[in-house]
Homo-oligomer: A and B are copies of this chain.
Amino acid sequence: MADTEYRLYYWPGIQGRGEFVRLVLEDTGAPYVDVARLPDDEGGGMGALVGFLKRDDVGTPTFAPPILQHGDLYVSQTATICAYLGERHGLAPDGDARWQAQYLQLTLADFVAEIHDTHHPIAGSLYYDDQKAEAQRRTAAFRDERLPKFLSYFERVLTLNAAADGRWFVGADCSHADLSLFQVVAGLEYAFPNALGALRDGHPHVFALRDRVRKRPNVAAYLASERRIPFNEHGIFRHYPELDAPA
């Protein structure tokens, strides 16, 4: 394996948490294999992922996908993988400011977990249909309180950095956390078009950053490719019209 070839292990049919890693990999231009999306007879498919999770020879085992393999090193947890790649490929601030990108990335991970739980407030092992009443109640609180709170926070961070001439979250350059904010806004736009639309005018820096990321050449090429799996109702960001705000 070449030093810079990465192997990503993630569910093949959804963007999910793996998409945050895919975006960092795509932006860097580093060669990688999305293992479970290979055909079965090329060592891919669901079987490859499930088999990998059972292996005892991968350093510290992983609790859940995504996992990034880089030579003999295996890294799991989305935020950790994004920081690992970002720090290797110039998508992280230098020096102590790298910790700032890391905790922004963790705040985005918390936000993603809350977004997931809007449609699964009781258990991930149950169908949405089996927890619809609870999902209505949780999502109402999410739309009223949590969505505005998270967006206002990100707007505040971007506004303060813009006052220092920064067009990204931290310092002068794009980092892995900026790519992840793009993905969260794109997902919210899919899942909650009305609720998010109502917040658009109040959060200009958030939406400008979203636009800036999606125009990055490697990101734009990726989004236009077949490698980008469309949003769907098996992932984190699900469009259930009954959970969105009224139009």
Binding site for B on A (CB under 8 A): 56, 59-63, 73, 75-77, 79-80, 83-84, 96-97, 99-100, 102-104, 106-107, 109-110, 113, 117, 121-123, 125-126, 134, 137-138, 141-142, 145, 150, 153, 156-157, 160-161, 169-170
Contacts and interface: CB of A to CB of B under 8 A. Distances in A.
25 contacts: A56-B160, A59-B97, A60-B100, A60-B103, A60-B161, A62-B103, A63-B153, A73-B96, A73-B99, A75-B99, A75-B103, A77-B103, A79-B106, A80-B99, A80-B103, A83-B102, A84-B99, A117-B117, A121-B138, A122-B134, A122-B141, A123-B142, A123-B145, A125-B141, A134-B134
Contact of A106 (B80, B84, B157): B80
Query: For chain A, what secondary structure do more than half of its interface residues adopt (helix, strand, loop), or is it mixed?
Result: helix
Contact of A134 (B63, B76, B110, B137): B137
Q: How many identical subunits does the complex contain?
A: 2
A34 B127 CA distance: 44
A142 to B, nearest CB: 8
